[in-house]
Amino acid sequence: MKFFSSIFLSLILTLVAAVSAGKDLPKIAVWDLEARNIPATHAKELTSILVSEISKLEKYEVYSQDNVRTLAGWTTQRMKLGCNDTQCLIALGQMDIAKLISGSVGKIGTRYSISLNLFDTQKVKAENAVSEFCDSENELIELVQRAVRNLLGEIKREVGKQQLRVFGIKDKCEVPIWNVGDKWIYQNTDGSMRVEEVIGEEEDSYILSSGGSKGYDKKTMNIKWLITPKGKKEKYNKGNKKLFDFPLYVGKHWEVDYSGYAPVETRSVEYKIEYKIENIEAVSIKAGIFQAFKIRMTQMRWDLGLGGTVIWWYSPQVKNWVKRQTNDQRFFRETEWEHNAELFTYELK
């Protein structure tokens, strides 16, 4: 595994070097992430992913720790000392390496952490540092990708671009226009994926496939009908028809009352849902960084006096929601459509 990991890192660095050879890009060295209370192979893999993420930016020529060791002629013992000291930073500068990233990945209790440091070899000092955390090993890949972009100031820059593009012209969001073939892939917290795709369009509705098929009113995006497991088209009257009440704008408030099926009790019960659009904010998720309307949905069950909150982030750019977060997993445990999830990738035709 370690062997293949090294080959993979070699390939990445070779390709990066080949691509960037003619561009005269600033050079950045990536020191192997230190493993703290996690397997060393994980740290090695995450180092490879970190290198790959930097290369995607096409702003740096990336050097590995091994490159540095060979070029400087340092011993393995010297390399073990790390590269946070002045001597090492000076030596990197003499290799024309402008920046150094070093850090660690670790586990404390049940939580995982990634800490990265960015050094400037010309100033011979630390320039930035970030620490990011997650709850499961499955999230480490995305965490390291996000952390390194954050470290290099890319997230701020991307958010800045998004603000220019979205704010000012889209402070009021009209009902989206979908096209056949538009597709959104969401990832749940357990890593499972769910695909939503516009598979058809009729005069007044879009047909969205997401396990089953539903018809969405083009003017309101309310659910009009569904296709039953037996293939029969039925009017939708068993659940919440209105998720978003377009147009969306900050401060808007709406309510929905509906009778819904309670799976545990196997009967229909009365729900009341209140929505409020709180603000527009940047959301950093696997699919990218988006400006989104933050919509707080509070759902109540009158008969039991119970309730829970789900926050949705809707992005006009994506024409759909990009993130969903519940504050009460117990209340929503039987309704999959209200569990935590975020957009993994999407495609608009």
Partner 1 sequence: MKYKAIPILICLLFSPTLPPSAYAQPHIGEKTPGFITSTLDGKRIALKDFWEQQGKKVLVLSFFATWCQPCKEDLRYLQKVQDQHGDKGLQVVAVLTQDTSKEDRVRNFMGELGVTLSVLMDEYGIIGKRYAVTALPCNFVVDKDGILKAKYFGYGEDVKKRFENQLMGLLLKP
**Shortest distance in whole angstroms from residue 141 CB to partner 1:** 22
Alpha helix segments (H runs only) across the chain: 2-20, 40-57, 65-72, 76-80, 86-94, 140-151, 154-166
91 binds partner 1 (CB under 8 A): yes
Whose CA is closest to 210, among 194, 186, 225?
194
Question: Looking only at residues 43 through 82 of this chain, which bind partner 1 when binding is defined by CB under 8 A?
Answer: 61-64, 66-67, 70-73
- Binding partner 1 (rule: CB under 8 A), the pick from 36, 81, 85, 90 is 90
- Binding partner 1 (rule: CB under 8 A), the pick from 94, 192, 259, 327 is 94
Beta bridge partners of 257: 272
**Shortest distance in whole angstroms from residue 175 CB to partner 1:** 50
124 binds partner 1 (CB under 8 A): yes
**Residue carrying the six token digits 């090492």:** 88
**Shortest distance in whole angstroms from residue 69 CB to partner 1:** 10
**Shortest distance in whole angstroms from residue 117 CB to partner 1:** 18
C-beta of residue 198 within 8 angstroms of C-beta of residue 206: yes
Ranges of beta strands (E only) in the chain are: 27-30, 34-36, 61-64, 97-108, 111-120, 125-134, 172-173, 183-188, 193-201, 205-210, 212-217, 223-227, 233-235, 248-249, 253-262, 267-285, 288-301, 306-315, 320-326, 341-347
- Terminal Cα distance for the chain, rounded: 40
Cα 212 from Cα 287, distance rounded (Å):
24
Q: Amino acid identity, residue 131?
A: S
24 binds partner 1 (CB under 8 A): yes
169 binds partner 1 (CB under 8 A): no
- Binding partner 1 (rule: CB under 8 A), the pick from 57, 79, 95, 227 is 95
- Binding partner 1 (rule: CB under 8 A), the pick from 2, 56, 123, 233 is 123
Question: Looking only at residues 247 through 276 of this chain, which bind partner 1 when binding is defined by CB under 8 A?
Answer: none
- Binding partner 1 (rule: CB under 8 A), the pick from 33, 83, 98, 143 is 98
21 binds partner 1 (CB under 8 A): yes
Residues near partner 1, by CB under 8 A: 3-4, 7, 9-11, 13-14, 16-18, 20-21, 24, 27, 61-64, 66-67, 70-73, 87, 90-91, 93-98, 121-124
